[in-house]
Amino acid sequence: MNRFLEKGQIRKAVELPAKSPRAPFFDSSEPRLGVLNAGAGKNRFRLLRYDPAPELAGFVRHYWTVEWELDAAESYQQEVVPNPCANLVIEHGRTSCYMPSTSRFSHLLQGKGSVFGVKFLPGGFYPFYRESLSELIGNSLPVDRVLRSNAVALEQALDTTNDVGLCELMDMLLLEAKPQMDHETKLLSEIFKAIAGRQDLTKVDELCKLFGIEKRNLQRLFSRRVGLTPKWVIRLHRLQEAAEALDRGKEQGTRTKLLHLSQELGYHDQAHFIKDFKAVIGVTPEAYVLGTRS
């Protein structure tokens, strides 16, 4: 069998009937999960998210698609807060596996276009790549490092297949890679659920105590399987929550009190919160509310 799936093989694969109806569980009426200035983006692009096959639920957070069609003289710069998830992105000229990053991502939308992506769970990309992510942060990998396909074939599928077909194709390719659900993958899943679900969890020592794991071992686990430090991941999650709270305040016509917000997110002083927010988001909270870009 050829290493890469040829165009005809892709078409045959995605024309198979789905085992169950697949519909988006989310659309861009409320584009959260790290999408900055969400209200402005609603009118510029459409964002949909789909569940992966049940067998992939321990590795993949969701599939996502973005479509836009802007006037010739119009463009829109969309920014996304950094997060600890790897993404496999299919887009003409940009198809690749993008590793987690410590800085926000920005993409200029012009004309007409579409993108299909796979958002892995934190640590969920490792079982496909099977090598440490510590040296890859902020970089990308060719898709043929993890799938039996390449950029050319996937971009052909993007042109000829609808969203449901692309989801079915990606299910097939990812399952063919045979990721293993081991102890460390399960542990990371529980750790990230705790970080997301407990605002009072703001320090790495608290995380170690909660899961009964030595700090050095936790740091090694994150370095190998996530690529980021536990401290940075906690910080990123809290700042994403802050950006979403400020977005909600704008949409509701209310002014979020920064002191109260910083205390809710575990910061002992407002100045430290503002400094961290600017380092990750690129502008101060006040400037973010006003829609100012860095």
Instruction: Please write the tens of the pLDDT for every residue from 41-72.
Output: 666 778 899 999 999 999 999 999 988 887 77
Q: Distance between CA atoms of 171 and 193, rounded to whole angstroms? A: 24
Which of 57-66, 116-125, 210-219, 253-262 shows the lowest mean pLDDT across its residues?
253-262
Q: What is the mean pLDDT of the chain?
A: 83
Check: CATH 1.10.10.60 for 183-289? yes
pLDDT, residue 34, reads 58
Q: Which tokens in the block code for residue 114? A: 């579409």
Give the pLDDT confidence score for residue 12 in this predicted structure: 44
Residue bearing tokens 């503002």: 274
Percent of the chain clearing pLDDT 70 (strictly above)? 81
* Amino acid of residue 137: I
- The pLDDT of residue 176: 96
Looking up tokens 């463009």 gives 75
Give CA–CA dist 287/78, Å, rounded.
16
Indicate if the pLDDT at residue 18 is higher than 50.
no
Q: Which of 91-100, 103-112, 141-150, 212-221 has the lowest mean pLDDT?
A: 103-112
Instruction: Identify which of 89, 88, 36, 91 has the alpha carbon closest to the alpha carbon of residue 68.
Output: 91
Burial of 131 from C-beta contacts in 10 A (0-12 / 13-18 / 19+): exposed
pLDDT tens readout for residues 108-143 = 777 788 999 999 999 999 999 999 999 898 899 999
Q: What is the pTM of this model?
A: 0.81
The tens digit of pLDDT for each residue in 138-163 reads 899 999 999 999 999 999 999 999 99
pLDDT at residue number 266: 77
Which has more confidence, 134 or 260?
134
Could you give the CA distance from residue 146 to residue 52 in angstroms, rounded to a whole number?
17
CA dist 70 and 5 (Å) reads 33
Look up residue 242 and give its amino acid: A
Sequential DSSP letters for 124-154 = TSHHHH-S--TT-TT-EE-GGGTSSS-HHHH
**Residue 261: pLDDT over 90:** no
In this structure, of 19-33, 112-126, 254-268, 272-286, the range with the lowest mean pLDDT score is 19-33
Whole-number pLDDT of residue 3: 42
What's the topology of domain 7-176?
A: Immunoglobulin-like (2.60.40)
Answer with the residue of higher pLDDT: 176 or 277.
Answer: 176
Query: pLDDT confidence of 93, banded at 50, 70, 90?
Result: very high
Amino acid 226: pLDDT = 95
What was the pLDDT predicted at 164? 94
Using pLDDT thresholds of 50, 70 and 90, give the confidence band for residue 280: confident
Q: Are 228 and 84 in contact (CB under 8 A)?
A: yes
DSSP 3-state percent helix, strand, coil across the chain (nearest 5) = 45, 15, 40
Q: Which carries the bigger pLDDT value, residue 117 or residue 78?
A: 117
- The per-residue pLDDT for 37 is 58
d(CA 89, CA 35): 16
Element (H, E) at 285: helix 285-289
Residue ranges of domains in the chain: 7-176, 183-289
Q: What angle do CA 219, 181, 66 make, to 5 degrees?
A: 85
pLDDT at 249 over 60: yes
**Distance between CA atoms of residues 153 and 169, nearest Å:** 11
Task: Supply φ then ψ for residue 206, to 5 degrees.
Answer: -65, -35
pLDDT digits 0-9 by tens, 177-203:
999 999 999 999 999 999 988 877 888
List b or e across 117-126, with b for residues whose CB sees 16 or more CB atoms inside 10 angstroms: bbbbbbbbbb
pLDDT at 8: 45
